Amino acid sequence: MVNNVIEVRGVSKAFAGVQALDDISLEIAPGEIHCLAGENGSGKSTLIKVISGVHSPDAGTVELGGDVFTQLNPMDAISHGVQVIYQDFAVFPNLSVMENLALTTELAEGRTFVNWRRMRKVAAAAIAKINVDIDLDEKVGTLSVAQKQLVAIARALMSDAKLIIMDEPTTALTKREVTALFKIILDLKARGIATLFVSHKLEEVFEISEKFTIIRNGKHVITCLPEDLDHKKFSYYMTGREFEGSRFEPELDAVQPILETFKLSADGAFADVDLSLRPGEILGITGILGSGRTELALALFGALKVDSGELRIEGKPVVLDSVRSAIARGIGYVPEDRLTEGLFLERSIGSNIVISEIDSFVSAGVLDQRKADIEAQRWVDELRIATPNVENAVSTLSGGNQQRIVLAKWLATNPRVLILNGPTVGVDIGSKHDIHRVLRDLAAEGLAVIIISDDIPEVLQNCNRILVMNSGRIVSELDPAQTSEADLAALMSEDVSPRQEEG
């Protein structure tokens, strides 16, 4: 009988009276691809830190390689083959690939002088283990997200890994990059290396996982095989809620579009874009990374200069030469990266919400804090943002609640057009459903919405029309009711003639 790589038994952990884990058990066999799923705040990160020795459990044990620990430290975990690849990959961006891979070995062996030939040999051997082609002299900071992840995986394998924990590994990857990552995970499996795949992306976890453990509010909900689950059960076990899978169907009264573009072009970004958007619509714009979808969104928000073509609002030609001019015409933009572009993380929830309309709370140079607080609380209540106090820092919130803060910031300006770039990237199933509900409700009230996303189910279920971009051009306009996930995926990744209608 083959011993499990790891056995977690009855682990509990509390922080300041808050029970993060409550009697959690988990076991993983050699070569097993095991999915750990749960909403943000469910305890996934705490469990990872217990397994990797960062946190000591208040109760329970962790067994690695036949050794049972009640108090595990990081060196114990590493020496027993546990490696964690976090979302930031813990790489040194100013160092080369070779230095990132070989320096740990050099330090571990107590070497005093650098031997570049030896380091190159060590790094090359590490990269060879995952069978990819990466320039060893390239600075890691210049690599793509997928390449940084490969460097982190290669480094993990240098330490005789038996279990690799991947924390939300596909959040910033394209479909093609996800496929490449899964190929590596399957190769690890063939070599007897287990993977704990931590994610809440339904399509991906069903594609790669051999066993599921789902936790909710720090408690174990179920451990089962893929055939024991479907998407509906998976979502219910994660959230305790049942979601309807209805498709968005708008009630359109307005005939005239609120926003139109004609042959809109920006050199090196996109070309000859024609689109129209009416009040009450949710228009989806999709395409693989590099398709031009984000650049188009920035141009519609006045953040990217266009070189030719025309843009009209309510039938009148306009020039959006700045973000300020777009906001003045009622256009709001929720950016792709909420952490660096959409939020002041250390500032309060309230100040983040009212920042876009701050002038309306200032009289004679003095801020009316009471009015600002009332406005902030209104949006916290409206969007069901989970916080006991609007004075708390945004950094204290989960990803889903942070995304609602960005949404609230723009809704507070009373926009007529709202553009959302990756509206649910990095949020869990429950928050994703809630954000979609909010967008549908806003459209029903007459807001014109554009969703920029490569999440295929998201655009099919929540948009009444979809534009597919490829190489900077719109190549298809689709009716979601007549389009399958497979068809849309194929159109996103292949070159087709512009505006080819499906069917």
Please provide residue 392's backbone torsions phi and psi, each rounded to the nearest 5 degrees.
-65, 150
Residue 297 has pLDDT above 50, yes or no: yes
Write out the DSSP string of 388-457: S-TTSBGGGS-HHHHHHHHHHHHHTT--SEEEEESTTTT--HHHHHHHHHHHHHHHHTT-EEEEE---HH
Q: What angle do CA 302, 305, 307 make, to 5 degrees?
A: 135
Least confident of 207-216, 243-252, 275-284, 443-452: 243-252
Q: Within its chain, how far is the Cα of 249 from the centroid?
A: 26
- Tokens found for residue 204: 């991906």
The pLDDT assigned to 392 comes to 87
The pLDDT assigned to 18 comes to 83
Query: Alpha-carbon distance 138 to 178, whole Å?
Result: 22
Confidence class of residue 109 from pLDDT cuts 50, 70 and 90? low
Confidence class of residue 267 from pLDDT cuts 50, 70 and 90? very high
Please provide residue 201's backbone torsions phi and psi, each rounded to the nearest 5 degrees.
-85, 110
Query: Alpha-carbon distance 25 to 213, whole Å?
Result: 9
Confidence class of residue 235 from pLDDT cuts 50, 70 and 90? confident
The pLDDT assigned to 502 comes to 44
**Beta 270-277 vs 259-266: how paired, if at all?**
antiparallel
Please provide residue 246's backbone torsions phi and psi, each rounded to the nearest 5 degrees.
-70, 155
Confidence class of residue 107 from pLDDT cuts 50, 70 and 90? low
The pLDDT assigned to 304 comes to 94
**Could you identify the residue written with the tokens 């691809």?**
33
Domain with CATH 3.40.50.300 in the chain: 6-239, 244-330+415-503
**Which CATH number describes the domain made up of 244-330+415-503?**
3.40.50.300
Helix H or strand E encompassing 466? strand 465-470
For the stretch 461-477, pLDDT in tens is 999 999 999 999 999 99
**Beta 308-313 vs 259-266: how paired, if at all?**
antiparallel
Q: Which neighbouring-strand residues pair with 141?
A: none
What is the CB-side half-sphere exposure of residue 420 using CA atoms within 13 A?
34
pTM: predicted TM-score of the whole model, two decimal places: 0.72
Q: Are 259 and 312 in contact (CB under 8 A)?
A: yes
Class for the domain spanning 6-239: alpha beta
**Beta 417-421 vs 331-334: how paired, if at all?**
parallel
Nearest alpha-carbon partner for 342 in 431, 404, 269: 404
Query: Alpha-carbon distance 105 to 227, whole Å?
Result: 42
Torsion of CA 117, 120, 124, 127, to 10 degrees: 160
The pLDDT assigned to 503 comes to 41
The pLDDT assigned to 499 comes to 54
For the stretch 138-177, pLDDT in tens is 999 888 888 888 888 888 888 889 999 998 888 767 777 8
Residue 112 has pLDDT above 70, yes or no: no
Mark 148-168 as b/e (b = at least 16 C-beta within 10 Å): bbbbbbbbbbbeebbbbbbbb
